[in-house]
Structure 1
Amino acid sequence: MELQQVRKSLVIPEQDVIVNSTLSKPFIKANTKEVSLLHLKKDCTIPVFSKDNECTVAHHEFINAVDTSVKAIFSGQRILSPELRVSHVIKGRIPEAIGKPVKDLKETEKTIYYERMMFKIDIPTISESISGNKLNLVVGGVRAYNQENLYSKKNFEKFKVFIGFKNIVCTNLCVSSDGLVEELRAVSVDELKAKVLDMLGRYEMQNHLNTLKSLSQYSLTEKQFAKFLGKCRMYNYLPKPEKGNIPALLLNDGQINTVAKGYYDDNNFSRQEDGSISLWKVYNLLTEATKSSYIDSFLTRSLNSYELIQKLADSLQNDIPIWYLN
């Protein structure tokens, strides 16, 4: 597998490794909070399919399945503990507490689980540098119970799994199309592990890195960047027939505003003195903006940012017109 061949050439010295990923900025913001794996395992209930009372795959089982797969593929590498973020807490209470006022509820009488959860596992001994930014390999996943029909019988459950790179200076995630399965379906933990292993084995790490490195070779002038932002604001209001031949854009207006602001004042990815900005910086402004997405749409928007920036690079490299710059 190409993944196993390439990883050996990207090992960095032990002393250069960031020891604890949780000390850095969060990889997603929105309305999320950080929790521990132990909290998910000990303090949270597990949703069931109501028609047959079969358990769903619990969040901690999903994380453990991916963690086990990562350790199997990357044996010998330094693998950090999973970093978790959750949102949309679902509250309940035990039967004995029915009718009890909320203010009188004891902690032991409350139940919770999180509708949405995202995690990542850093592998800091597999690393590369692009434009002075250090990138570490990262694997992770997303679970969103709101995308399951919990009122039916147990069936295939949906998961999102990814492998890519994390930009250390900003914790932005760089995810490519072959490094993301947006709808991995499984009915058991064992089937989930098998499919995660398959996805990890098919990831073409070197191709992904080469694409990311090439972004530094192309730049937009201030005028081109302004036109790009303006067209991004226009995209969502285009008549549907006109969108067919235009690369999709999934970021909302607020996120485009974040990109515009970052052009002027981002500490790492702002414009040059002449107003120009490299596509590597534009890409990181886009991925920074996606951090305000909800967990269930985060990876889709991250991948969309990658695909859009590839289209811009192809336009500049081959002098092919693209709507965003016309």
Structure 2
Amino acid sequence: MEAQIIIESKITQESHKLIPVKQTNNIIHPGTMQTGNVITPGISKFPTKPFIEANTQEINLYSLKNDCVIPVFSKDNERTISHQEFIEIAQEAVLKVFPHHTFEKPEIRVSHQIKGRTPEAIHKNVKDLLDHERTQYFERMAFIIRIPSIVDTINGNEIALTIGGVRSYNLENLCNKKTFEKFKFFIGFQNKVCCNLCVWSDGFVDDMKVSSYQELQTKIIEVIQNYNTEKHLLGMKEFAKHSLTETQFAQLIGRTRLYQHLPKKDKALIPNLNFTDGHINTIVKDYFEDDSFCRNEQGDINLWNVYNLFTQANKSSYIDTFLDRNVNAYDFTNGIQKALIGNGDYNWFLS
């Protein structure tokens, strides 16, 4: 049975149903968006805040295509699916599933630059290298594509449907022959207030193994079609209905610090928390100082704000752990919500 999702578009005020799509080989040009059969330049209404920071830098599709080489599997010289091809395949997939919606141009972040030089410059000193003799590629890449025509509001924050992915060449065995290649892909939402991503497990695949472009696109389409938008939104809206007192928040923070140092046998009995002491420090600071998600005058804080404190702190994560931690932030907040009403396995964090 084909998965079907009803999505309410705030712009058109009409219900849109995801239906099976036909396969084509068209890849749209970067920096465009499509409305029906009309392609127009993408203009972002989101603030210019990166969705991930850490040690990343912004780059565009043109630079990926023209300024970066593509690594190969050394044993057979077969090339990898490049970062830009991953992005373009995802673009085409989302256009097929949402043919009547607008899409912003991809926002791309990269890290871990790998430098090289052309063979004719092998004996030159670094200072003598000419631009055309230098080569580079980036080991890690993350991107998002927003769909600004599909939006909702939670606790006064507008969020837009967003797809994206991560590619890390360090997870590939490039010293061997080509086998399956690994990708991370998600569909979720982005908070317009802070550009934090809202991702949960049902819209995320952390180990998408493929052997071809067509297989990659097919699997991306499957993830999008199987994503339950309404369920994800309802879950996040529930966060705003539950709050922690200052005492409960302090208890939660204390437990998260203890969690990092628990013996393995004790930690195995408690749900997983992927955030480090550095992340927790940022969360505590923002609890007092953040303009959008801090405590109220009584010291209370609702779980939607707690969730965003976690996703905001996650921006300091490296690219290859970023999406996994984002999913963990949702699971953790959802678990705390259940603990507040006396259910679930997260009671330890509030006890």
- Bin of the TM-score, shorter chain as denominator length: over 0.9
CA distance in 2, matches of 1:239, 1:293: 24
Report SS of the residue matched to 2:341.
helix
Superposed CA deviations along residues 137-166 of structure 1, whole A, max 9, x for unmatched, are 000000000111001100000000000000
Greater displacement, 312-321 / 269-278:
312-321
What are the residue-to-residue correspondences of 1:5-20 with 2, within 5 Å?
5-7=5-7, 9-12=8-11, 19-20=43-44
2:79 maps to 55
The C-alpha deviation readout for 1:95-131, integer Å capped at 9, x for no partner, is: 0000101111111000000000000000000000000
User: SS at the partner of 1:267?
Assistant: coil
Are 1:279 and 2:278 matched, yes or no? no
Change (3 A) 1:269 1:23: closer
**Alignment match, 2:127:** 103
Show the counterpart of 1:324.
Answer: 349
Deviation at residue 19 of structure 1 after TM alignment: 3.1
1:304 counterpart (304, 328, 335): 328
| Structure (1 or 2) with the greater helix fraction | 1
Instruction: Structure 2: give runs of 5+ residues left out of the alignment.
Output: 14-41
Q: Which residue does 1:185 correspond to in 2?
A: 209
CA separation in 1, counterparts of 2:6 and 2:271?
31
Matches within 5 A, 1:21-170: 23-170=47-194
Q: Distance in 1 between matches of 2:241 and 2:2?
A: 25
Name the CA shift for 1:130/1:77 in 2 (closer, same or farther; >3 Å). Answer: same
Any idea what SS the aligned residue of 1:318 has? Answer: coil
After superposition, where does 1:181-220 map in structure 2 within 5 Å? 181-220=205-244
How far, CA to CA, are the matches of 1:216 and 1:2 in structure 2?
32
1:271-324 CA-to-partner distances (Å, cap 9, x unmatched) read: 011111000000000000000000000001101111011100111123567110
- One-letter identity of the residue aligned with 2:153: S
Counterpart AA for 1:197: I
Any conservation in 2 of the 1:120–1:141 contact (CA below 8 Å)?
A: yes
1:237 aligned onto 2:236: no
Partner residue in 2 for 1:247 = 271
Aligned equivalents of 2:208 and 2:225: distance in 1? 15
Q: Measure, in 1, the Cα distance between the counterparts of 2:53 and 2:2.
A: 33
Code of the aligned partner of 2:347: I
- What is the CA–CA distance in structure 2 between the aligned matches of 1:265 and 1:271, rounded to whole Å? 9
| DSSP 3-state at the match of 2:305 | helix
What letter corresponds to residue 289 of structure 2 in structure 1? D
The normalised TM-score by structure 2 is: 0.89
Contact 1:2 1:205 in 2 (8 A): no
In 2, Cα distance between the equivalents of 1:219 and 1:51? 56
How much does 1:245 deviate? Answer: 1.8
Picking from 300, 312, 328, the partner of 1:288 is 312
Q: CA deviation at 1:224?
A: 0.5
1:259 aligns with 2:283: yes
For the residues of structure 2 that align with 1:259 and 1:85, how far apart are their CA atoms? 23
Specify the code of the residue in structure 2 equivalent to 1:113: Y
Which residue of 2 is the match for residue 226 of structure 1?
250
Cα distance change of structure 1 residues 21 and 158 upon mapping to structure 2, 3 Å threshold:
farther
- Provide the C-alpha distance between the structure 1 equivalents of 2:59 and 2:245, rounded to a whole number of angstroms: 43
In structure 1, runs of 5+ residues without a counterpart are: none
The number of residues matched between the two structures is 322
Give the conservation status (yes or no) of the 8 Å contact 2:180–2:210: yes
Does structure 2 retain, via aligned residues, the 8 Å contact 1:21–1:83?
no
Q: Is the 8 A contact 2:83 2:167 kept in 1?
A: yes
Identity percentage over the alignment? 49
Amino acid at match of 2:349: Y
Q: What letter matches 2:319 in structure 1?
A: I
Q: TM-score, normalised by structure 1?
A: 0.96
For residue 3 of structure 1, report the CA deviation from its aligned partner. 7.6
Cα pair distance change 1:319/1:181, threshold 3 Å: closer
Q: Is the 8 A contact 1:21 1:122 kept in 2?
A: no
User: What are the Cα deviations for residues 212-240 of structure 1, in whole angstroms up to 9, with x where unaligned?
Assistant: 00001110010000010011111110000
- Computed over aligned residues only, the root mean square deviation of the Cα atoms, in angstroms, reads 1.6
Could you list the runs of 4 or more consecutive aligned residues of structure 1 that deviate by over 6 angstroms after TM superposition? none
Conserved 8 A contact 2:46-2:192 = no
Partners of 2:292 and 2:65 lie apart in 1 by 38
In 2: Cα distance, 1:253 partner to 1:305 partner: 15
Contact 1:139 1:162 survives alignment (8 Å) = yes
